[in-house]
Chain A
């Protein structure tokens, strides 16, 4: 090879000795800046390997003398963010839920924080925006509340859940399984369904609904009220309105009376801190169906009368 090297007359540079069909390659040296850049990257690489986790081992990787890790950095950033939000979060935690609406800025922060928590913990059942799922999970945006729709009641429901088996303070309503347990005959159930659909203006009065009225008074009125107004103290739904959690057609009501679903909601005080629950309550309240808390003396009367919903 060395024998073939010669000086190119035009440029005065050595040739590399390679030749293809008469075309020769100049042995121009690398520009110095290029070489220095290469050396700099090599030094950079060595320093990086020493400082940061880099070398894969059987279990994990070398740790690097800085002790940096992406998880560690994430944790730091999360802590910094928590510290940044701490003043608002503490203020929300220190304010009783009933007093929140009086502090619009706190309420707004609570609604926004609640919206974020809702998207993590609640949308799986109650749907995006609290729209609910037909025949499965109640809508949280409407004006019909089984247990009450004021801030404190919503907070209580989220905290303790519905029919949570291991929790004493949980909300429990017990609709008997009239069909499965043989309390009512199938014909009697059909009569009761006729009556229920009559008071909700879905059917006209008939002989069947007249028979059903008697049965309703004997079996259902204790919880649902004689006119089907429902009873919030026991979580009995209104039966004379347009909202049906499990469907308002004959077949659906029949199925409910025969064997009620008794839906379950987890209690969240075992998973979320009180501040987050408070924010969730504020968010649910803000969805458009929220109610004013009844005045204490009138609470009992309001639960009975039609004024509780406030919707004329």
Chain B
């Protein structure tokens, strides 16, 4: 998949038409769309073409449980054209997007929905809005995010990796913990694969990370408390704590730009966001969210920290100890 040309104007018009539409008007599915049902799915392909000779596979795995409907809504009514514009601005010419929807496999009707890699505005929008926002989720504080790692590791194939050894991107949005393992029973019933044993989540992540840069986006600071620690243990500085859900697209585009070295550093990121009419207060929030990841990529980041001369104590000075110790 991935044929056809992307038109920023067409995408912006498509989204503008429904800017004030309610969630139920935009997302009309009341069950898993048959074409997004992963049962029997073999492979989702991101392929080069004459129009797109340098395809780059990008997967958005969107949590569609009750607390997380904001991000699909903002993608469909405002932000997706911004994402594409930012990618274009940093020189990522041929992105191909695949949307996945993630719920809770222990309680939901459609805990895993999988679209196709697409290059055109209409088809990206089609798969996004075909997603069934079930709004479920169990009460255990866990959702089935591990299924996303399994699916990209096992059921996607990208020319960016096969031909150029360039990894794709997996952005998972969510505000809960993952289950500790990919359940072979769930994989059997949802996908139809015969997995011979449960796969610990760290192993599913490692397999996905061989061909994707994987990230977990937490929508706001209020929700980081319940899941950030576990996700950081799993994904390190690839966990991004945003300050509001509407920043997801700009954050994801900035990650692609930084990782592809199309954006040199945080200063260049600020300039890129400013030039693409992102509001100044949002720019600050996006930079705060991304600074740890940007530092990870920057070989000079450690040199910007002050390293005291050898023998300089970091303990309180003599005068302070005299007064207070």
A and B physically associate: no
* A interface residues with partner B (beta carbon < 8 Å): none
* B interface residues with partner A (beta carbon < 8 Å): none
